[in-house]
Structure 1
């Protein structure tokens, strides 16, 4: 077994450490750190091609512990971010770093311009999304492993989104690519509307799922047994800790980072299933998710890119996901596609041909009827012009 296949997933931690160092260094280093992360993902995916390898991992425990390592790493990053706007040097951390490195991080912090702090919010929120949400997503699918579930929910707490462990696993995976799924964006929807709508409907769905679970157990929904209530209390504890470290300013800074991290999740939901249609009574197939095999995104996001296989078999650990190169493909790697999604005119220009190709190449006859209805409601002229369902074409994606 090639050691590289294990080491490649540790690239994720390198990016986290890069962000940590830039936040502690302060000043222009914060903006430089953000720029470096953007270049690594956007340029890296553009020039490094695809990773379609399917190695067999004989020591999967290493890769599980690696996921658990995300929690202390993200905790340090968020601490550094809140410390970067704190009026004090809590615990003498800055003085200790200065003594060890010879670089006066406290003076650099105090001289940091407002614009660099904005970059810090963008960078920290991005890392909350990458290190917190992506890893939390993987861990909370492991419902049989209490340690992974605990670590995963704490990671999700950094984006105020522990409900993800309820709605995503028990709701989204059941109703994906249907009108009953809050996370699936219908054709023509604006990404910014989707962030709000999916958040509100996702929380409501999670509450109803938890309410049904507790009713079966004969337990009141208004109790500490409610995982949704416990999860929000976890996030409130993090807000309180941010206040202790950075005062009111640090608390507001953390909230901004967390909300940006949450928004990133919903943007990712938007681009992973945009325009897909499915009868909820039929099995989820690889064709019901947009996929990508870009190398840098795959290595640093624990194969989240192999989304088509993940939705076909949600219990499969990330290292065992298959690339499905014949599945419908995203515009590019994840961060590139996020940027495109945030520019709605560009998004619709690039995605409309892909959606029409999906109708022709991947959809079943029943799904073409659903697609025609979705096209008619989309408000996108090119989609509305293609409302007549076709009985031709084949479903070529693997099942």
Structure 2
């Protein structure tokens, strides 16, 4: 892979400072991150597509190139610094309500779109340090159970009715969000309890991962309150809510209406390239580290982002994820555009399921 292609994965670092620049400028400039992500980038996505796949001869070199993992690991302390800066600013400066809203939204979009996404990449690594970095990122957005549920739950049950993170055909985002947020937490709790029972370890013991999942964010919240009072606490919790809601909206987009067939033996067909929506838009794919090549990720969960491939046979989104988030927030518009694509997919695969 040429250096220009590699350097695109540094573009996220141009977006990370935007909330602080908006705060410095003041007023409605606090929404500059929101405008960049949901206006400017979708326009660029509309113009520039990217279906480039690395050649088989490149794969060994790409796997051995430390640039790709270092780009991700360097982000972890950067997010911590960003949050500490946000807590400091919120605690020491008086803001109008709309300035607070814009700043908190902006930080949450970074910690969600950047932080949770990179935590997702790291949790799939077979490396204890990298998995620990994933947990640290998730702690900062109060969503540590995602570490358990995503790999051991979502990847197993994706595109089935048993998966709380797969949106059903005809299900609006606003019906999906409470179902997935509550369902994912319950699923993670069940999976962790099952793991502890298999290892004959007590639920109320240091072996239980829910100790850090709940304890670490609670500790941060208490420290925020002690340092900056309600202003700091509400900011920390507010950015966390924005971050994990962004994650779940993306989950809604990624699998909406796609289903695996149930076989005669009661099991579901294997996950294939046709069970996730893909987007081959250059800029959003660079910012999201190929998360939008999602079908390849589900078919090859351990494959690092630099090797993920675009597949023409996968169902294709009309826009990158940032544009699709806007559509998802407006259900009539979402259904008008996406239901046709779902029905076309089902016709090709001889499926006929009713809307929810």
TM-score (norm: length of structure 2): 0.92
2:127 aligned partner: 145
Q: Deviations over 1:155-206 (max 9, x none)?
A: 1122211111111101110110001111011111121121111111111111
| 8 A Cα contact 2:167 2:256, kept in partner | yes
1:134 aligned partner: 117
Q: Deviations over 1:278-320 (max 9, x none)?
A: 1353210010001111111110101001001001111101111
1:395 aligned partner: none
Q: Deviations over 1:36-89 (max 9, x none)?
A: 333342222122223424263264322112111121111122223223321x3x
Alpha-carbon shift at residue 264 of structure 1 (Å): 1.1
Establish whether residue 173 from structure 1 lines up as the match of residue 155 from structure 2: yes
Q: Which runs of 5+ in 2 are unaligned?
A: none
| 8 A Cα contact 1:191 1:341, kept in partner | yes
Among 204, 229, 241, the residue aligned to 1:222: 204
Alpha-carbon shift at residue 244 of structure 1 (Å): 4.1
Q: CA 1:58/1:255 → structure 2, altered by over 3 Å: closer, same or farther?
A: closer
Q: Which runs of 5+ in 1 are unaligned?
A: 89-108, 380-399
Distance between the aligned counterparts of 2:342 and 2:63, measured in 1?
39
Counterparts of residues 384-399 of structure 1 (less than 5 Å)? none
Among 106, 113, 117, the residue aligned to 2:96: 113
Establish whether residue 35 from structure 1 lines up as the match of residue 22 from structure 2: no
Q: Deviations over 1:248-299 (max 9, x none)?
A: 1110122111111111111111111111111353210010001111111110
Establish whether residue 261 from structure 1 lines up as the match of residue 243 from structure 2: yes
| 8 A Cα contact 2:113 2:246, kept in partner | no
Alpha-carbon shift at residue 237 of structure 1 (Å): 2.5
2:22 aligned partner: 22
Q: The residue matched to 1:136 in structure 2 has which SS?
A: helix
Counterparts of residues 177-256 of structure 1 (less than 5 Å)? 177-256=159-238
2:329 aligned partner: 342
Alpha-carbon shift at residue 20 of structure 1 (Å): 3.5
Q: How many residues align?
A: 346
Distance between the aligned counterparts of 1:113 and 1:340, measured in 2?
29
Distance between the aligned counterparts of 1:276 and 1:346, measured in 2?
19
Alpha-carbon shift at residue 227 of structure 1 (Å): 1.1
Establish whether residue 71 from structure 1 lines up as the match of residue 53 from structure 2: no
2:281 aligned partner: 294
TM-score (norm: length of structure 1): 0.82
| 8 A Cα contact 2:273 2:313, kept in partner | no
Q: CA 1:40/1:242 → structure 2, altered by over 3 Å: closer, same or farther?
A: farther
Distance between the aligned counterparts of 2:73 and 2:20, measured in 1?
18
CA RMSD, aligned part only? Answer: 1.8
Alpha-carbon shift at residue 25 of structure 1 (Å): 4.7
Among 146, 150, 157, the residue aligned to 1:164: 146
| 8 A Cα contact 1:141 1:165, kept in partner | no
Distance between the aligned counterparts of 1:220 and 1:50, measured in 2?
49
- The structure that has the greater radius of gyration is 1
Alpha-carbon shift at residue 24 of structure 1 (Å): 4.7
| 8 A Cα contact 1:23 1:81, kept in partner | no
